[in-house]
Amino acid sequence: DVKVTQSSRYLVKRTGEKVFLECVQDMDHENMFWYRQDPGLGLRLIYFSYDVKMKEKGDIPEGYSVSREKKERFSLILESASTNQTSMYLCASSLFSGTRILPYNSPLHFGNGTRLTVT
């Protein structure tokens, strides 16, 4: 089974701190994603990556950056944490599929999330 591991289940940080959320997957997946989930707003995509050192902005990238130095690891960085970044953060990975034989439908595998509180 694919395992996506997020480094912390719960995290409490102060406003202005630099915060690193780490995600590791063990299935050699090319694609990795960061979402945040808030009550009433559902899951929203922050950033994603198709390969090492590649990154693409999602729907809400402001205030975040990412790093993909190794294929198995995708880090989400809050340069200066703010209270409106208090949320559940979910990491996911999937196999790259971009051929006529295998269309873009590889399932996403999610971690169990990191609940970040910024005070």
Interaction site with other proteins (CB under 8 A): 4, 31, 33, 35, 42-45, 48, 50, 58-59, 90-92, 96-100, 103-105, 107-113
What is d(CA 48, CA 103) in angstroms, rounded to the nearest whole number? Answer: 19
Phi-psi region of 106 (alpha: psi -120 to 50; beta: other; left: phi over 0): beta
Nearest to 15 by CA among 61, 80, 97: 80
Nearest to 117 by CA among 92, 81, 74, 64: 81
- In whole angstroms, the minimum distance from the beta carbon of 90 to other proteins comes to 5
* CB closer to other proteins out of 18 and 57: 57
- In whole angstroms, the minimum distance from the beta carbon of 68 to other proteins comes to 15
- In whole angstroms, the minimum distance from the beta carbon of 66 to other proteins comes to 13
* CB closer to other proteins out of 80 and 112: 112
